[in-house]
């Protein structure tokens, strides 16, 4: 439970990082959302055996972290949290796909290991881009940008509520877990038999808490309209930002820059 609470606090820290005043922070949220979507589409469009072509895409998160003044170790820790899920998805690739695709001297690398490394690299890039987007924009502003880009308002509001109710669920589960520990003598009452009752009470408590929050929002005049902390204006800086990064991503997708640089270097130093 402590690890879940720590992860939720890290999500709150991402929203706090969005209050910065760097040039990246001051850009309109729609520009950052569009660039991130183009980036993710280009990265996930590679086939499972493409690995070297993904390396130049690490330029984008590195520059964004540097220009926005984000803590790089914090972002890397958030990305590392998903590594176990990636390992669970791709760990069987080397066992299933044993065909040799790359020969490094006496060492033969199978297609399974290459596809596994490709899954890991693409996961790091896409998840990192999502974390950086929230850290330089804020989740509320992201939902507002998605709505202005054409997403139905009901979906955008549901997405925002889903994000906000994560904190409600975590707080209620923390209270229920502490109450369960205080009422149990040693390990008595903490087994699997009491888990179903705990989940049922947690559902009822979060439902009631959500209703109270909803009534409080209505009392304060909530009508489903987003109110971002920054003024929304899509001007020349946003156009330059979108054109530069989108063009770069498309060029990197069409041309394997790593392979071209490798051929150039081997040509210069035979």
Q: What tokens does 178 get?
A: 């502490």
Q: What is the pLDDT of residues 69-98, one digit of tens each?
A: 998 888 888 888 777 777 777 777 777 777
If pLDDT is split at 50, 70 and 90, which confidence band does 37 have?
very high
CA 31/CA 233 separation, integer angstroms: 10
Tens of pLDDT, residue by residue over 238-269, are 999 999 999 999 999 988 887 788 777 776 65
- 90-104 tens-digit pLDDT: 777 777 777 776 766
Domain boundaries, the chain: 1-151, 152-219
What average pLDDT does the chain have?
80
**Once rounded to an integer, what is the mean pLDDT over residues 45-61?**
89
Backbone angles phi, psi at 103, to 5 degrees: -115, 115
- How far, in Å, CA of 270 to CA of 267, rounded? 6
Structure tokens at 240: 């330059």
Residue 211 is predicted with a pLDDT of 81
Contact 227, 147 (CB under 8 A): no
Q: Which pLDDT tens digit goes with each residue over 178-221?
A: 777 776 665 655 556 666 677 777 777 777 777 887 788 788 77
Pairing between β-strand 107-110 and β-strand 100-104 as defined by DSSP bridges: antiparallel
Report the percent of the chain where pLDDT is more than 90. 20
| CA nearest neighbour of 137 among 15, 36, 242 | 15
Residue 33 pLDDT exceeds 80? yes
User: How many C-beta atoms surround the C-beta of residue 19 within 10 A?
Assistant: 10
| Residue 229 predicted with pLDDT over 70 | no
pTM equals 0.79
Q: Which of 20-29, 64-73, 106-115 has the lowest mean pLDDT?
A: 106-115
Which residues, at least 6 apart from 268, have a Cβ–Cβ distance to it below 8 Å? none
pLDDT at 2: 45
Tokens of 239: 């156009």
pLDDT of residue 217: 79
Q: Is the pLDDT of residue 1 over 60?
A: no
């Amino acid at each position: 439970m402590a690890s879940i609470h720590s992860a939720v606090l890290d999500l709150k820290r991402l929203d706090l990082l969005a209050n910065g005043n760097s040039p990246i922070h001051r850009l309109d949220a729609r520009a950052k959302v569009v660039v991130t979507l183009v980036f993710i589409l280009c990265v996930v469009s590679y086939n499972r055996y493409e690995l070297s072509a993904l390396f130049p895409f690490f330029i984008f998160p590195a520059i964004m972290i540097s220009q926005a003044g984000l803590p790089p170790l914090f972002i890397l820790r958030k990305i590392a949290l998903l590594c176990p899920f990636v390992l669970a998805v791709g760990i069987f690739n080397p066992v299933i796909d044993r065909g040799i695709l790359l020969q490094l001297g006496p060492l033969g690398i199978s297609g399974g290991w290459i596809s596994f490394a490709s899954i890991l690299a693409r996961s790091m890039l896409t998840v990192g881009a999502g974390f950086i987007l929230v850290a330089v924009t804020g989740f509320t502003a992201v939902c507002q940008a998605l709505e202005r880009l054409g997403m139905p308002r009901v979906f955008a509001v549901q997405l925002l509520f889903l994000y906000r109710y994560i904190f409600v669920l975590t707080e209620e589960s923390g209270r229920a877990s502490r109450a369960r520990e205080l009422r149990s003598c040693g390990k008595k009452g903490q087994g699997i038999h009491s888990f179903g009752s705990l989940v049922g009470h947690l559902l009822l408590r979060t439902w009631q808490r959500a209703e109270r929050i909803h009534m409080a929002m209505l009392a304060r005049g909530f009508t489903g309209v987003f109110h971002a902390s920054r003024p929304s204006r899509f001007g020349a800086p946003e156009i330059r930002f979108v054109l530069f990064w989108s063009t770069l991503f498309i060029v990197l997708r069409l041309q394997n820059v790593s392979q071209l640089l490798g051929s150039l270097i081997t040509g210069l130093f035979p």
